[in-house]
C-alpha cells in the first residue's frame, strides 16, 4: 500500500462508540496512525462522521430512529464534541470544514473548497470534513459521509481513500450469518455482484452500511483513487498499513484516470477566454511544469467566471500552448495581471489564490509535456 495524499473516512461507530458520546477508544489509535503518516511526509484529510451519534445524549428523542430535525439538532451539538475529541489527540491544529454534496456541485464553491484544503495541508493543519448536517436532508436522512469522502478525495486530488468502520472489508457472504465467510482482499471491477456481496449492515450507529462504501469506492476508483475498506477498531490494521500491507478490501484504482481528466480538459471543455503570456511564464509552464502566476499574464480576453476553462497563448509566437481552469474571473484577472502574487490582496482586497491556474488544472496543447 503506497500513498502520498489520503482521505481517511472515519465512521460514527469509531468516533462515538457504545452509544455514549465521543471517546478516545478508537480515535486514539487512528490519530496516532495519522501522525505517523504525517511524519513520513504524507498528507491526510479526515472525513469524520459521528456528530449525530455524539450529540444523541444531549437531545431528548425516545425513538431509535429520531426525526431529521432531531438528528440535525444532535449533529449541531455533537459536532463540537467530535471536533474537541479529535483535537485532543493531535499536537498539530485541526480545522473544521462543513460542506454538503450540493457545495461540491457548484463550481465556485468547489474551487473554494479545493483552495482551502490545499492551503490547510500546506500549513500542516489537519482538515476534518463533515457534512453540514443542519442543511443537508438529501434522501430523507442526515448525510452520507462515505460518498462525501469520495468527493473530498476527488476535490483534494488524493491518491487514496481509506474508509474506516467496524467491519474488516467486503466478504463473500455476510459474516454475521456465516462466520466462515472469506474477506475479499482486492476488487478490480465494481459490478452488481460486488453490491450483492456487500449486503447491508444492521449497525444502528452507522448511516450508510456497506452499500454507500461501495458507491464511494466506485466513484473514487473511476478517478484513479485507490480505495480501501478497513476495520478502524483494530490497532493491528494500522501497523499493517504502515508496513505496506492491505489488511482489508482494496478497490484497485483505474489506470489512466489522470490522463482521462486531462483528456476531458483538453478535448471536452469549451474555453470561454484567452490569456496571452510572456516568454518567462511560457517557459515555466512548459519546462518546469509550474502553475500559472498572475505576473506572467500580459493580456486577458473573454468573459469567464471562476472555474471556467480558458486558453493560454504564447504572445510572441501566437501559439496555443495550454488550456486550464481559472481560479479568477476575467474582471479580477485583468486587475491582477502582470502583478506579483503577494500584491493580489492589496489590489483585490483579498487573495483567493496565489496562482491563476494550478498545475493540476492545466493541460499542455503544443507540447508532449502533460
User: Which spans of this chain sit near ligand GLU (rule: CB under 6 A)?
Assistant: 12, 49-53, 75, 130-131, 133, 142-146, 207-208
* Smallest separation (angstroms) from ligand GLU to the CB of 79: 7
User: Residue 49 or 70: which CB sits closer to ligand GLU?
Assistant: 49
Q: Which residues of 164-181 are buried (b: 16+ CB within 10 A; e: fewer)?
A: bbbbbbbbeebbeeeeee
* Smallest separation (angstroms) from ligand GLU to the CB of 54: 8
User: Residue 130 or 223: which CB sits closer to ligand GLU?
Assistant: 130
* Smallest separation (angstroms) from ligand GLU to the CB of 90: 19
Residue 220 CA to residue 162 CA, distance in Å, equals 11
* Smallest separation (angstroms) from ligand GLU to the CB of 53: 6
* Smallest separation (angstroms) from ligand GLU to the CB of 134: 10
User: Residue 211 or 335: which CB sits closer to ligand GLU?
Assistant: 211
- DSSP reduced 3-state for 74: helix
User: Residue 133 or 218: which CB sits closer to ligand GLU?
Assistant: 133
First-to-last alpha carbon distance for the chain, in angstroms, is 26
* Smallest separation (angstroms) from ligand GLU to the CB of 144: 5
User: Residue 129 or 333: which CB sits closer to ligand GLU?
Assistant: 129
- Cα torsion angle, 78, 83, 86, 87, sign: negative
Residue 32 CA to residue 27 CA, distance in Å, equals 8
Secondary structure E strands in 225-318: 226-231, 249-251, 271-277, 297-301, 309-314
Instruction: Give which of 167, 129, 146 is closest to 44, Cα–Cα.
Output: 129
Q: Kind and range of the H or E element at 6?
A: strand 5-10
What residues contact residue 194 under an 8 Å CB cut-off, 6+ apart? 170, 187, 214
User: Residue 12 or 112: which CB sits closer to ligand GLU?
Assistant: 12
User: Residue 228 or 304: which CB sits closer to ligand GLU?
Assistant: 228
User: Residue 52 or 275: which CB sits closer to ligand GLU?
Assistant: 52
* Smallest separation (angstroms) from ligand GLU to the CB of 26: 15
- Cα torsion angle, 192, 198, 199, 203, sign: negative
Residue 15 CA to residue 26 CA, distance in Å, equals 7
* Smallest separation (angstroms) from ligand GLU to the CB of 57: 14
Instruction: Give which of 184, 164, 142, 148 is closest to 51, Cα–Cα.
Output: 142
Q: Are 59 and 51 in contact (CB under 8 A)?
A: no
Amino acid at each position: 500500500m503506497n500513498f502520498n495524499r489520503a482521505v481517511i473516512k472515519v465512521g460514527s461507530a469509531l468516533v462515538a462508540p457504545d452509544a455514549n458520546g465521543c471517546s478516545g477508544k478508537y480515535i486514539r489509535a487512528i490519530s496516532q496512525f495519522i501522525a505517523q503518516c504525517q511524519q513520513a511526509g504524507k498528507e491526510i484529510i479526515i472525513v469524520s462522521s459521528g456528530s449525530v451519534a455524539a450529540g444523541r445524549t444531549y437531545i431528548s428523542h425516545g425513538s431509535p430512529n429520531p426525526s431529521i430535525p432531531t438528528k440535525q439538532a444532535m449533529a449541531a451539538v455533537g459536532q463540537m464534541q467530535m471536533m474537541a475529541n479529535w483535537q485532543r489527540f493531535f499536537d498539530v491544529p485541526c480545522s473544521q470544514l462543513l460542506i454538503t454534496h450540493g457545495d461540491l456541485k457548484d463550481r465556485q464553491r468547489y474551487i473554494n473548497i479545493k483552495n482551502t484544503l490545499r492551503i490547510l495541508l500546506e500549513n500542516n493543519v489537519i482538515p476534518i470534513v463533515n457534512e453540514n448536517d443542519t442543511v443537508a436532508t438529501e434522501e430523507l436522512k442526515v448525510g452520507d459521509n462515505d460518498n462525501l469522502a469520495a468527493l473530498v478525495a476527488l476535490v483534494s486530488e488524493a491518491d487514496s481513500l481509506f474508509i474506516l468502520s467496524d467491519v474488516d472489508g467486503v466478504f463473500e457472504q455476510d459474516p454475521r450469518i456465516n462466520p466462515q465467510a472469506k474477506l475479499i482482499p482486492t476488487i478490480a471491477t465494481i459490478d452488481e455482484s460486488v453490491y450483492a456481496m456487500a449486503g447491508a449492515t444492521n449497525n444502528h450507529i452507522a448511516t450508510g452500511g456497506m452499500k454507500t462504501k461501495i458507491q464511494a469506492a466506485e466513484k473514487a476508483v473511476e478517478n484513479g483513487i485507490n480505495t480501501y475498506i478497513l476495520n478502524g477498531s483494530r490497532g493491528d490494521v494500522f501497523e499493517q498499513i504502515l508496513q505496506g500491507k492491505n489488511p482489508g478490501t482494496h478497490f484497485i484504482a483505474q489506470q489512466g484516470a489522470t490522463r482521462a481528466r486531462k483528456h476531458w480538459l483538453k478535448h471536452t471543455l469549451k474555453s470561454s477566454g484567452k490569456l496571452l503570456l510572456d516568454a518567462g511564464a511560457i517557459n515555466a509552464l512548459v519546462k518546469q511544469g509550474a502553475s500559472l502566476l498572475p505576473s506572467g499574464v500580459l493580456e486577458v480576453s473573454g468573459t469567464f467566471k471562476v472555474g471556467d476553462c480558458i486558453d493560454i497563448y504564447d504572445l510572441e509566437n501566437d501559439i496555443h500552448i495550454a488550456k486550464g481552469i481559472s481560479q479568477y474571473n476575467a474582471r479580477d484577472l485583468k486587475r491582477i495581471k502582470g502583478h506579483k502574487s503577494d500584491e493580489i490582496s492589496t489590489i483585490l482586497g483579498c487573495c483567493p489564490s496565489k496562482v491563476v491556474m494550478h498545475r493540476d488544472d492545466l493541460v499542455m496543447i503544443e507540447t508532449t509535456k502533460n
